[in-house]
Amino acid sequence: MMVARKTGRRIGPALITLAAALYFFVPLYAAFQFSLQMRRGEWSLDAYRSVLASDVFLNAFLFSITASGAAILCGVLLVVPTAYWVRLKLPRLRPVVEFISLLPLIIPSVVLVFGQIRLFGSNSWLPLTTTDLGTNLLLIAGYVVLSLPYMFRAVDNGMAMIDIATLTEAAETLGASRLRTIVTVIFPNIRAAIVSGAFLTFSICLGEFVIASLLNRQAFGPYMVQLGQDRAYEPAALAILSFGLTWLLMALMQAAAQRKPGQGWLPFRNKAPRP
């Protein structure tokens, strides 16, 4: 009887994992197979060649990569000091800050972008939408707001795992300023949390459509929608490429999060010399 129960406990999680894997990978395989059928009667990579050879794809992809990187940097610079200060000095305001960070999940993106256009349009006191640079700044600001719930939650959970008060007191005892404490003490201890928030931010920004479309930016999200309306096989190929890029970045970020301070990227680097 006990053996049967142990066997059931092992088979149950395995079946759930298998069902989840099939749920994700079967549609992905179907899309991959469809992307290879651009040439009738045989499988080919013509759809992938068509996508990668397009200048519009390269421009949209590079633009989204740059905007996502800027949004990640701005999000980290905004969230990490805020979460640190709230946990250290203002713990009573933590529920208020958490509520504010969750507002982007409640307010639709279309409301956010129309508010930006209203405040920074051509007739406003700061007409940012009249220039490409200003519109790009509005897009990055929108990306930061959209990713705020995920970045703040990841960073806040990371700070909950360390003793911020003790680390700050030790750093100040050694003569470190508050800024140096955040940069050299807090950042390295929550690096995994920051990487998790950065990955979520990148995933959101790469496929975002509403803000980029209404601000008339040639980003990756609007390009995917337009390609899906005009072509048949190329959108499937583009979806596979997007999944592959996402998984690659996930692996790189995971490696960066697990890398110890002073440790190189290669396994044979930074090893102690043998006597």
Please tell me the distance from the alpha carbon of residue 59 to that of residue 210, in angstroms, as a whole number: 19
Residue among 190, 187, 186, 201 nearest 249 (CA): 201
Please tell me the distance from the alpha carbon of residue 148 to that of residue 142, in angstroms, as a whole number: 10
One digit per residue, the tens of pLDDT, for the chain of length 275 reads 555 555 656 777 888 888 888 888 888 888 888 888 888 778 888 888 888 888 888 899 899 999 999 999 999 999 999 999 999 888 888 889 999 999 998 988 899 999 888 888 878 888 888 889 999 999 999 999 999 999 999 899 889 888 888 988 898 888 888 888 888 888 888 888 888 888 888 888 888 899 999 998 988 889 888 888 888 888 888 888 888 887 887 777 667 666 554 444 444 344 444 44
Do residues 201 and 75 lie in contact, with contact meaning Cβ atoms separated by under 8 Å? yes
The reported pTM is 0.81
- In sign, the C-alpha dihedral spanning 174, 176, 178, 183 is negative
The full length of the chain comes to 275
Distant-in-sequence contacts of 54-60, Cβ < 8 A, 24+ apart? 56/218, 56/223, 57/223, 57/238, 59/218, 60/218, 60/219, 60/220, 60/222, 60/223
Domain ranges of the chain: 46-258
Could you tell me where the DSSP H helices lie in 36-131?
46-52, 55-89, 94-106, 109-120
**What angle is formed at CA 153 by the lines to CA 257 and CA 217, rounded to 5 degrees?**
85
As its CATH architecture, domain 46-258 has Orthogonal Bundle (1.10)
Q: Could you write out the DSSP letters of every residue in 228-261? A: HHH-SHHHHHHHHHHHHHHHHHHHHHHHHHHPPT
